[in-house]
Chains A and B, each alone.
Chain A
Amino acid sequence: MAEEREETELNTATTERQEPSARAATGESAAAVVELVGVTKTYPGEEESAVADVDLRIREGEFFSILGSSGSGKTTTLRMIAGFEQPTIGRVFLDGNDATDVPPYRRDVSTVFQNYALFPHMKVQANVAYPLKMSGVPRREIGPRVKEALERVSMAEYAKRLPHQLSGGQRQRVALARALIRGPRLLLLDEPLGALDLKLREEMLFVLKRLQREVGITFIYVTHDQGEALAMSDLMAVMNKGRIEQLATPAEIYAKPATSFVAGFIGKTNLLSCRHVEGNRAEAGSVPLILAEDPKQSQFTLSVRPESILIGTDCHSLPNRFVAEVSEVLFLGHEREVLAKIGDQRLMVRSQDLTVGPGDTIEFGWDPKEAVIVEATGG
């Protein structure tokens, strides 16, 4: 019996492996430009995997972000798609074809590097012309195409400069022009805005978004800035310790974080570790709470976003309602962040009331539907 089951499991495993190409052939769903199947990467001499058992499917024309802190494996994932690293286990499919062992220079993928990686001895136009030259485009076609590519990023007047004569933002634009000139199916961006100051970063966000709409190709964008990821993505994956914690749309990730890591990483939240009492009632420490539905486990973590907590008279009709003592107030300009104590729990709420100060008591509460039960994770 046991043997039999094992065999069927093996069978399903192999059919799953073949799935991507099969699916691409039948055109069952929108074509996956990139598909990672069970990819694990362990660097030699290291015990923990940089990327552990990642499955990803990125469709044509999507703006896909991989969000994570440093060491989360996001850059390694990107480098495996670009071909600079080979997965230890698992396969990488590009356009439905197994590209795991295809070298980077044979992949229809372009990368914008974190430090731009412009060739320092080449002028801007030579840098942008390089991919065309390497793919054997006739000389007379190269000139106009370079000009067009530079115009698209408004850098045409800098064509004769060397990279070190450009500012960070300008280098970034040249790197984008170089990456896009061959018209790749897929553009990989490795923290492309990391080296820019805040104002330039916001400007480049718009440039990127506009470019993606114009050229209509798939973007995979690696960042540790949640704001960038939320603003730009159609779909995003949050990575932690080499694993994907959640893969969903930005709105879904914000509203319904799957794990406590995601809840804490994206925006601010209150994480309450709760114990199930009965029905839809639970306790966080000594504080009784009402839940929207019955929890499945007896111990769980509840995430309550500060903005879903209502203060004062607004909360009178809510089932979760507390009177708390204010212990700390932070002034943020447009509002205040108030740290409030109920029993042995501390919660952060947002208040527009300017008179609240430490020691005051406030009344607040939240709709049980706004609180999300998340999976507890380390980190």
Chain B
Amino acid sequence: MGTSERTPNNRMKANSKVVKIVLGVVVGVAVLCVYVFLYAPMMVTALFSVNDSTIQTLPFQGFTTKWYSALFNDEAMKSAIYFSLKVAAVAVTVSAVAGLGFALLVHRLQMRGTGALQGLIAAPLVAPGLVLGISLLVVFRQANVSPGFWTIVAGHAAFITPLIMFILIQRLKTADPSLEQASMDCGAGYIRTFWHVTLPGLRVALIAGCLLGFTLSMDEIAVTFFLAGTEPTLPVYVWGLLRFGFTPEVNAAFTLIAGGSLLLLTFAGLLLYISGRRQRAGIPNSIDQAEGLGAIGVSTAPSTTEGGTRTV
């Protein structure tokens, strides 16, 4: 830029370059602000969880892992973690089976009304946790089911099922229907076709859906709050701790939950990305097929008009 001659044209170019740089900086700062807003609290919490002080103020007093050891010596906390893991595992298993069933059903029944069916199943996913929690609580009260492990599992499964279902439907939509036909053509009935061809095709999406469902279950508080009996899940327990003040152990617990969730989410995202890419890798095949069709179409399809010099 320094060597540029001072012609009007060049000056204008230089001007527009400056404008571009300024705009770029402004946008960059704005984006950075959003990310800081989103991630700074997590960073701060994580930092304080290893700070060697009972009060959360700067400057840092030094590195320690004692809050983490305190956390893992807390029997109530440990049982809460164990309880949460158990709830998540069972809820996800139930949801995976139900979600798979619904996804196949919705995908196969290509008729009117499946849209409404999907919407109805999706409701718990988008309804506020408060609504789902209270309504389930009312139902369980009426049915005389005492709150506890199974009511929480039911509450969680209610919103994890549609999540898994939607992920699977998305995968089924892009799946190649001729694979199942090829399997039947090879002599496999419906069940063996499902087992050997359909399910392996859904495997990655199913695992990703389960991971997402698992994090949702581990973090869920609103629905759980209404449906929990005497035994709290991890988030509910931590929430309880908060009422007695913001102790460094809470920081440690929060850091673990956040870290674990982010890890699982990243993993699920990666899986979905890879499965999407693998599918797209199959698409060049269909693209060059389309090209092939086009090429042949050019040579034969118009031949009815072009070949016959139609003299009418």
Contact = CB atoms under 8 A, between A and B. Distances in A.
B6 interface: no
A118 B296 CA distance: 24
Contact of A130 (B196, B296, B304, B306): B196
Contacts of B201: 120-121
Contacts of B135: none
11 contacts: A83-B184, A105-B187, A117-B178, A119-B183, A119-B196, A134-B192, A164-B282, A194-B296, A196-B292, A224-B300, A272-B311
A379 B187 contact: no
B188 interface: yes
Given A224-B301, A271-B310, A285-B311, A134 B285 contact: no
A194 B304 contact: no
Given A164-B281, A164-B282, A265-B300, A270 B308 contact: yes
Contact of B182 (A113, A225, A260, A264): A113
B311 A268 contact: no
| Secondary structure class of chain A's binding surface, majority of residues | mixed
A114 interface: yes
Contact of B289 (A109, A114, A121, A303): A114
B281 to A, nearest CB: 6
Q: Which of A168, A195, A269 has the most CB of B within 10 A?
A: A195
B5 interface: no
A105 B188 contact: yes
B15 interface: no
B304 A105 contact: no
A131 interface: yes
B183 A346 contact: no
B308 A260 contact: yes
Contact of B185 (A109, A114, A115, A267): A109
B187 A134 contact: yes
Nearest to B287: A195
Among the interface residues B178, B188, B308, which one has the most CB atoms of the partner chain A within 10 A? B308
A345 B307 CA distance: 15
Contacts of A195: 285, 288-289, 292
Interface residues of A, number: 59
B294 to A, nearest CB: 10
A177 interface: no
Contacts of B312: 273
B293 interface: yes
Interface string A325-353: 00000000000000100001111100000
Contacts of B185: 82, 104-105, 109-111, 179
B109 interface: no
B304 A346 contact: no
A143 interface: no
Given A195-B292, A197-B292, A225 B300 contact: yes
B287 to A, nearest CB: 10
B119 interface: no
Contacts of A269: 307-308
A265 B303 contact: yes
Interface in A262-285: 263-265, 267-273, 284-285
Between B176, B192, B289, B311, the greatest number of chain A beta carbons within 10 A of the residue's beta carbon is seen for: B311
Interface of A: 69-70, 82-84, 103-105, 109-111, 113-115, 117-121, 130-131, 134-135, 164, 168, 171, 178-179, 182, 194-198, 224-226, 260-261, 263-265, 267-273, 284-285, 303, 339, 344-348, 379
A226 B300 contact: yes
Contacts of A84: 181, 184
A244 B72 CA distance: 78
A248 to B, nearest CB: 19
B184 A348 contact: no
B176 A346 contact: no
Contacts of B179: 117, 119-120
A224 B296 contact: yes
B260 interface: no
A134 B188 contact: yes
A273 B308 contact: no
Contacts of A82: 181, 185
B286 interface: yes
Contacts of B306: 268
A205 B187 CA distance: 27
A14 B146 CA distance: 69
Nearest to A339: B309
B70 to A, nearest CB: 47
B173 interface: no
Given A135-B187, A195-B292, A115 B286 contact: yes
B240 interface: no
B89 interface: no
A164 B182 CA distance: 17
Contact of B200 (A70, A121, A261): A121
B189 A168 contact: no
Contact of A104 (B184, B307, B309): B184
Contacts of B187: 105, 131, 134-135, 182
B88 to A, nearest CB: 28
B34 interface: no
Contact of A120 (B282, B296, B309): B282
A379 B282 CA distance: 36
Given A119-B200, A265-B303, A348-B309, 6 more contacts: A69-B301, A105-B184, A117-B181, A130-B188, A194-B292, A264-B308
